Amino acid sequence: MSRDLRGLLIPSAVAVIGASERAGSVGGEILRNLVRHGYQGTLYPVNPKYSQLEGLRCYRDVSELPETDMAVIAVPRGLVHGVVEQCGMCGIRNLVIITAGFKEAGSEGAAQERALESLAKRHHLNIVGPNCMGIINSAPGVSMNASFSRWFPTPGGVAFISQSGSLGETLLELFEQVQLGVSLFVNLGNRVGLTENDFLEYLSSSDEVRVIFLYLESFADPTVFRTWVEVVSQAKPVVVLKAGRTEAGAAAVASHTGSLASSDAVVDALLRQSGAVRVSTVDEALTALRVLGKQPPPRGARAVILTNAGGAGILAADACERAGLDVIPLDPDTQAELRAFLPAEASVGNPVDMIATAGADDYEQALQTVLPHTDLAIVIFRPPLVLDESSKAVADAILRMAAATPRVPIVACPMSWSDEAVLFSSHLSTRGIPSFITPESAVDAASFLVEAARRVPRPHPRQAITQRDDLAEMIGRASREHRCGLTFEEGATILGAYGIDVCRHSYVVDLEQARGFVARSQYPVVLKLDAPELFHRFEHGAVVPGIGEDRSLAAGFGALSSLAEREEFSGARILIQEMLKGRELILGMKRDPVFGPVLMFGIGGTLVEVLKDVAFGIAPITPDQAMRMIRSIRAFPLLEAFRGQAAVDLDRLADTLVRIGMLSLELPGIAEIEVNPIIADADRAAAVDILIRIDTCGTQGEKGESP
Amino acid sequence: MSRDLRGLLIPSAVAVIGASERAGSVGGEILRNLVRHGYQGTLYPVNPKYSQLEGLRCYRDVSELPETDMAVIAVPRGLVHGVVEQCGMCGIRNLVIITAGFKEAGSEGAAQERALESLAKRHHLNIVGPNCMGIINSAPGVSMNASFSRWFPTPGGVAFISQSGSLGETLLELFEQVQLGVSLFVNLGNRVGLTENDFLEYLSSSDEVRVIFLYLESFADPTVFRTWVEVVSQAKPVVVLKAGRTEAGAAAVASHTGSLASSDAVVDALLRQSGAVRVSTVDEALTALRVLGKQPPPRGARAVILTNAGGAGILAADACERAGLDVIPLDPDTQAELRAFLPAEASVGNPVDMIATAGADDYEQALQTVLPHTDLAIVIFRPPLVLDESSKAVADAILRMAAATPRVPIVACPMSWSDEAVLFSSHLSTRGIPSFITPESAVDAASFLVEAARRVPRPHPRQAITQRDDLAEMIGRASREHRCGLTFEEGATILGAYGIDVCRHSYVVDLEQARGFVARSQYPVVLKLDAPELFHRFEHGAVVPGIGEDRSLAAGFGALSSLAEREEFSGARILIQEMLKGRELILGMKRDPVFGPVLMFGIGGTLVEVLKDVAFGIAPITPDQAMRMIRSIRAFPLLEAFRGQAAVDLDRLADTLVRIGMLSLELPGIAEIEVNPIIADADRAAAVDILIRIDTCGTQGEKGESP
């Protein structure tokens, strides 16, 4: 449901319920903030104890109010419910509930919060909070500080949605310090009504907001979040500082494959796939927000470093290497062009060190020469000891070249707070080129530009396959039989229906049938015992691999037949499969209660078991995202041509991951999938073992498990 | 040779040769800097063109000068040699040569630089430079700015040795900005005479300097550097910003094992083993220098986070996890103690979130409670909206607890530049507790304390073994025979002499002898062809592994005998070895022309070949350092108990690395060692193949190599 938040964020009239003149009163502080920062609409203080507050008529009760778009509620907790109900009945649809003491304060507060939730639904209210600092819209026509924040930001292109109040206020102060304009600040608080997702939706159609910054400690709904970030980030960067990595346990994706997941790896996958720019620290947030939305998106990751100070250039080059930017030597022609006007002591490779004598003309000519050959430029200009011209002249030269090559972003680094350096920086900033004191911060800024430019295509809408209902019914039947999992054959049916390759296989009841399979297929083959709850075949000795001739086939069949007679394997059948060669890989899926189907990929054996070298993704996943997952594991080189083995067909592998994601979304009865191994080479990626758990039971009670 | 640098750094009389009143003259700028910043000694300008400069008598010539401790030389390049010679003859032993145009300007300059070097030796001169910015000693009794730096630092506990001039000056400005006192600044320039090592030696006996900071782009002599850092870092932290990671190619450790090395990995090993604190960015340098030498070394890495703002506490905890600090939940008793005086809404796990109402008493009591149970404390105090007491009171509370528990370091974070926050920070800083604006910087500071506290024991002086001369003679003989490498037997003799376990082995000339070996040892065995230049046996088919019975023994022997008849294997002999089980590991050594013997460790097979998962160290290496090397590879878990295999005896493995280091230092004729594999289990770590290259030839011309 799309919500109209204009009445909340651009209200014509605001009531402050619980306003007061008492020192330390939060309601009083909010009223003072609204007055002090020049709110452009009409203000209605509400408090039966006063007839006037801050020179304004004070209303006794909500029912007395003239038409009001939004109310800030700062009354004691016990009164909140009544006030909200009254607002709902009087048609005040937008509420900011400052009052604390709800969910965060224990079970009684949680019950009161649930009651608020019902009220919100009944009266179709837009509620921010409770337990929040309030909201700010600093746009000149609104100028509303409906919060108790001491910091009222300078208007600018950033919208800042913060789950935390105190950190939000802190960041507003730091933003002001680095002259970063913020037009909208919302402290979400307990999110009983509006969440980050509602504001993302609202901001998707805002022209003024150029960058959205979110500080989050958890997601209200990661699936909706992803959808909106996918939409919004096509037009404007979404920067996310997600705190709480150490909550690892909480949302962890458990079980055999899941034990390798930390919730943070899943959060990482969510943010990456959504197209958000993730920052890890407050400093990174400041750096990203100072450059994003101000400089154009670079076309690639090639960086040229221009400097008048050698050491700073080297530090910048080091930082580029760490950040994944390519500092590629300029081609010989470009170097020759630079040589033509730079002094002999200059270096023209990359970094281009123009030495301390470089002036405005040098910067202009050098930029003119290099900008056509790079994706972005990092311009270091430390105002030198003896300056024949103002540093403003150098800034002007840079601005001229930026205007001439508008598609190549530039970040600057004066490495000083001297007057000349400040003049340089502030002149550049008037035209949107940000400056950073250290070369490393300038490089970080450039790398955020590259990160944000990585456009994430939205996954195709999922298309139900024709057999979907049959498959769902098959799972439903297994569930009604109180089974924990599916048989290999059932798993193969599902995978096959989704176009995933499965090795040739057949159930066999006697040696004759096994020989028949070999006659149609050929040696080598594998024999297995299969049963819906037999999740760790290998450990139970229920697999006989590498059967190359008749004698071994007979021996293997005999051994599994005996095993099948044991009580714990009752109902197990003998499966024969072709034996494939190639890289043994693992694909997995575990349905997370919060994030939905979490996909996993790794290389089998010790790499996954001991080194936990796996990658995560969240369904739906695009082929590009699947490819990025595959390439992100440390052992990726093992998938390339190696020791005489041809490279694995990566596109096919990525496609298989995409399909596992599709079927996970379309068949919600599946709790977990482990295709271990899937064997891949240059031509195939075929599932060799398939374990599918369904929701009926937990990970307990597996067949063959010791008690 | 130990140098007395007092005359250079604390001179009673300084001459400025090439002083001038011309605008833009560097000599003039230096004289003005000396006068302006109040140099406490006597100043002698030297320039035949003037009789007076800056109100001082100007001397025509060096020969006219009264007794002078130090001369700054800023004359045109062509005159430098003459002036230096004159200084040498007049007994001016300490020279700072500002003039540029030497090695950095091409071959003619390089020749002039070599001439300077000879002069320096002949006259026993201490030369800083050439091509440098100069030196600064800001200590009150000296107050000497013998440089053209615009920044004259506030005196303090830091000595700053910089290879770069412009970056040096930049950093001096940034240090001033964060109120970091610097007493000594030296810009090394081209290091024709004095290097970073001379200043490390000098500073090792300085009481005033509490932290040494080096900005380096290369090492004058890494071996001497290591020795001095080992000494100095016992008493005071040595912080190193080493730029130029992207020079990778230059000093790369090449060849089969070495191809995995980047020079930066070797630099990392050098700095880590020396006991230096390596920083990677200017910001990290500022953070490290603001805390080191001011707070005591922590005993471990356990951190408690105290905060009055929840979000900031979470960000700090995240940052701790990234930095390797342990944020362990407080024990139940400590939690109960905190509960007793904190409000119900507070969290007492760790971070301890005392919520916004926390005042001085809460901070004092909380610190009193937690400091005995932690190695360090990160104290976040954002001055709250309504402040019943001055933030100075909170600072005082923290200072009292710091005084009461002097061995537990504290770093603070006010998260604000407000007046109250500045008051808090500046009050803390008077007693050495640094404050950082962001929680992540505070955590970085804490982690540098932990890093610096890691005392590095100096390696034992190497003790020549009794057989050393015999072994050296054996290598010499091979060299005289123009061989590229040693035989297995020669290699085994060397390893054995240094107490390294080698598998049982024997050369055999016929099948009878092979059977005899089996009778003494037992199956399984391995047969190999061995020759001094046969470096890749396996690839040449010259290894027959896994021989388990007589028939295979005969077949293998036959195959190798035939192979040995081929021309490229002339002189090869057949070797029989016991076949060991265990983890296949690689130990290597490659002698680097600059760093000396670089040791390498990795796990055999694809891990080294494809994933380049190796660790480097520099000989000599202590058992602790070897253990840290072993533990640093990503695949380390494979050495622990795993899939029924017992854990490898890590001490034995570390000891083997120590011994490889020892023998590499004692036998300089060895260019490269590759023990691949060495097979390790719970009881042994035995060399199974040993390839030793000697200096006689390069990596070309190996036996069996295709042309």
Measured distance CA(A453)–CA(A218) in Å, rounded: 25
State the first-to-last Cα distance of chain B, in angstroms, to the nearest integer: 49
Choose one of B531, B551, B579: the last residue of a domain. B579
pLDDT digits (tens, 9 = 90+) for A632-652: 998 899 899 977 889 999 999
| B635 and B610 both lie in a single domain | yes
Interface probe, candidates A22, A145, A169, A282, chain B, greatest B C-beta count within 10 A: A282
Token pair listed for A441: 């911060």
| A120 and A205 both lie in a single domain | yes
The closest alpha carbon to A283, from A370, A209, A178, belongs to A178
Determine the residue of chain A that is closest to B241 in CA distance: A315
Contact (CB<8Å) B312/A166: yes
The residue with tokens 């430390």 is A382
Four-point Cα dihedral A575, A581, A584, A590, nearest 10: -40
The residue with tokens 């490495």 is A415
Q: Alpha helices of A123-238 — where are they, by DSSP H? A: 165-177, 196-203, 222-232
* CB contacts, 8 Å: A437 with chain B: 174
Q: What is the DSSP letter of B64?
A: G
Categorize the per-residue pLDDT at A250 as very low, low, confident or very high, splitting at 50, 70 and 90.
very low
- Domain range enclosing B331: 303-453
The closest alpha carbon to A307, from A405, A388, A415, A402, belongs to A415
| B560 and B636 both lie in a single domain | no
Beta strands across the sheet bearing A13-17: A42-46, A13-17, A70-73, A94-97, A126-128
Determine the residue of chain B that is closest to A165 in CA distance: B311
| B212 and B317 both lie in a single domain | no
Asked if A548 contacts A524 with a C-beta cutoff of 8 angstroms, the reply is: yes
Asked if A463 contacts A498 with a C-beta cutoff of 8 angstroms, the reply is: no
| A470 and A521 both lie in a single domain | no
Contact (CB<8Å) A315/B282: yes
| A405 and A348 both lie in a single domain | yes
- Angle between helical axes of A282-291 and A439-453 (0-180°, round to 10): 70
Residue B457 CB neighbour total at 10 angstroms:
12
Measured distance CA(A562)–CA(A568) in Å, rounded: 12
Query: Which CATH number is B530's domain given?
Result: 3.30.1490.20
Partner residue opposite B634 with nearest CB, options A150, A611, A637? A611
Contact (CB<8Å) A611/B637: yes
| A439 and A549 both lie in a single domain | no
Q: What is the mean pLDDT of each run of 10 residues along chain B (707 residues)?
A: 85 97 90 97 97 96 96 96 96 96 87 95 96 96 95 96 93 94 96 96 92 94 94 94 63 34 81 94 96 95 94 92 91 96 89 92 97 97 80 96 96 93 95 95 97 77 79 94 92 96 96 95 94 74 90 94 85 93 94 91 81 90 94 92 89 96 95 95 95 71 39
Partner residue opposite B356 with nearest CB, options A29, A166, A637? A166
Contact (CB<8Å) A283/B164: no
In sequence order, what are the beta bridge partners of B16? B45, B72
pLDDT at A404: 96
The contacts of residue A346 (CB under 8 Å, 6+ apart) are: A338, A339, A352, A353, A354, A355
Give chain A's radius of gyration (CA, Å). Answer: 31
Domain presence at residue B442: yes
Contact (CB<8Å) A280/B318: yes
pLDDT at B642: 78
Residue A702: is its pLDDT beyond 50? no
Interface probe, candidates A314, A380, A418, chain B, greatest B C-beta count within 10 A: A314
* CB contacts, 8 Å: A312 with chain B: 166-167, 170
| A77 and A209 both lie in a single domain | yes
Whole-Å CA distances, B324 to A126, A643, B280, B319: 43, 37, 17, 9
- This prediction's pTM: 0.91
Domain presence at residue A251: no
* CB contacts, 8 Å: A309 with chain B: 164, 166-167, 170
Whole-Å CA distances, B81 to B61, B76, B113: 14, 10, 9
pLDDT at B84: 97
Task: Reduce the DSSP state of residue A201 to 3 states and report it.
Answer: helix
Query: Which CATH number is B319's domain given?
Result: 3.40.50.261
Contact (CB<8Å) B167/A312: yes
Contact (CB<8Å) B309/A167: yes
| A352 and A494 both lie in a single domain | no
Partner residue opposite A246 with nearest CB, options B177, B318, B356? B318
Residue A251: is its pLDDT beyond 50? no
Measured distance CA(A413)–CA(B120) in Å, rounded: 39
The closest alpha carbon to A435, from A398, A471, A485, belongs to A398
Contact (CB<8Å) B167/A217: no
Query: Which CATH number is B472's domain given?
Result: 3.30.470.20
Amino acid residing at A3:
R
Domain presence at residue A231: yes
* CB contacts, 8 Å: B418 with chain A: 150, 173
Residue B51 CB neighbour total at 10 angstroms:
11
The closest alpha carbon to B338, from B321, B326, B351, belongs to B351
Interface probe, candidates B315, B354, B613, B614, chain A, greatest A C-beta count within 10 A: B315
* CB contacts, 8 Å: B606 with chain A: 638, 642-643
* CB contacts, 8 Å: B243 with chain A: 311, 314-315, 318
| A507-528 residues labelled b (16+ CB within 10 A) or e (exposed) | ebeebeebeebbeebeebbbbb
| A406 and A530 both lie in a single domain | no
| A140 and A212 both lie in a single domain | yes
Choose one of A553, A579, A605: the last residue of a domain. A579
| B595 and B692 both lie in a single domain | yes
Token pair listed for A349: 């490779």
Determine the residue of chain B that is closest to A343 in CA distance: B105
Residue A259: is its pLDDT beyond 50? no
Mean local confidence (pLDDT), A339-368 = 93
- The Cα of A446 is separated from the nearest Cα of chain B by a number of Å equal to 16
Residue A462: is its pLDDT beyond 70? no
Contact (CB<8Å) B244/A314: yes
Measured distance CA(A119)–CA(A100) in Å, rounded: 17
Determine the residue of chain B that is closest to A418 in CA distance: B173
Interface probe, candidates B172, B188, B387, B415, chain A, greatest A C-beta count within 10 A: B415
Domain presence at residue B30: yes
Whole-Å CA distances, A394 to A461, B320, B585: 51, 42, 57
Residue A379 CB neighbour total at 10 angstroms:
28
Q: What is the DSSP letter of A342?
A: S
The residue with tokens 């810009």 is B187
* CB contacts, 8 Å: B637 with chain A: 610-611
Token pair listed for A235: 């037009």
Query: Which CATH number is A200's domain given?
Result: 3.40.50.720
Whole-Å CA distances, B171 to A67, A177, B108, B541: 60, 22, 32, 59
Interface probe, candidates B108, B167, B260, B262, chain A, greatest A C-beta count within 10 A: B167
pLDDT at A700: 43
- The Cα of B343 is separated from the nearest Cα of chain A by a number of Å equal to 11
Asked if A630 contacts A651 with a C-beta cutoff of 8 angstroms, the reply is: no
Interface probe, candidates B281, B283, B325, chain A, greatest A C-beta count within 10 A: B281
HSE (CB half, 13 Å, CA atoms) of B340?
A: 9
The contacts of residue B39 (CB under 8 Å, 6+ apart) are: B14, B142, B143, B144, B145, B146
Contact (CB<8Å) B104/A345: yes
Q: Alpha helices of A259-308 — where are they, by DSSP H? A: 263-274, 282-291
* CB contacts, 8 Å: A23 with chain B: 386
* CB contacts, 8 Å: B173 with chain A: 416-418
Domain presence at residue B162: yes
Determine the residue of chain B that is closest to A384 in CA distance: B166
* CB contacts, 8 Å: B151 with chain A: none
Q: Alpha helices of A251-339 — where are they, by DSSP H? A: 255-258, 263-274, 282-291, 310-323, 332-339
Domain presence at residue A684: yes
Measured distance CA(B588)–CA(A173) in Å, rounded: 54
Domain presence at residue A477: yes
Task: Reduce the DSSP state of residue B446 to 3 states and report it.
Answer: helix
Measured distance CA(A423)–CA(A195) in Å, rounded: 42
Partner residue opposite B638 with nearest CB, options A23, A440, A606? A606
Contact (CB<8Å) A317/B29: no
Determine the residue of chain B that is closest to A149 in CA distance: B385
Cis peptide before A351 (omega within 30 of 0): yes
- Burial (CB count <10 Å: 0-12, 13-18, 19+), residue B241: buried
Choose one of A221, A243, A265: the last residue of a domain. A243
* CB contacts, 8 Å: B167 with chain A: 309-312, 315
- The Cα of A138 is separated from the nearest Cα of chain B by a number of Å equal to 21
Measured distance CA(A342)–CA(A355) in Å, rounded: 9
Partner residue opposite B606 with nearest CB, options A310, A382, A638? A638
ipTM above 0.85?
yes
Beta strands across the sheet bearing A376-380: A352-353, A303-307, A376-380, A410-413
* CB contacts, 8 Å: B282 with chain A: 315, 438-440
* CB contacts, 8 Å: A281 with chain B: 315, 319, 438, 440
Q: Alpha helices of B352-480 — where are they, by DSSP H? A: 360-370, 391-404, 419-429, 439-453, 468-480
In sequence order, what are the beta bridge partners of B13? B42
Contact (CB<8Å) B281/A415: no
Q: Give strand ranges (E) for A445-569.
A: 505-508, 525-530, 543-547
Measured distance CA(A326)–CA(A338) in Å, rounded: 20
Categorize the per-residue pLDDT at A245 as very low, low, confident or very high, splitting at 50, 70 and 90.
low
Determine the residue of chain B that is closest to A386 in CA distance: B24
What DSSP string runs through A553-588?
A: HHHHHHHHHHHHHSGGGTT-EEEEEEPP-SEEEEEE
Domain presence at residue A260: no
In chain B, the number of structural domains is: 4
Cis peptide before A130 (omega within 30 of 0): yes
Contact (CB<8Å) A385/B150: yes
Interface probe, candidates B282, B321, B355, chain A, greatest A C-beta count within 10 A: B282
Partner residue opposite A309 with nearest CB, options B166, B215, B311? B166
Amino acid residing at A566:
R
The contacts of residue B170 (CB under 8 Å, 6+ apart) are: A309, A311, A312, A382, A415, A416
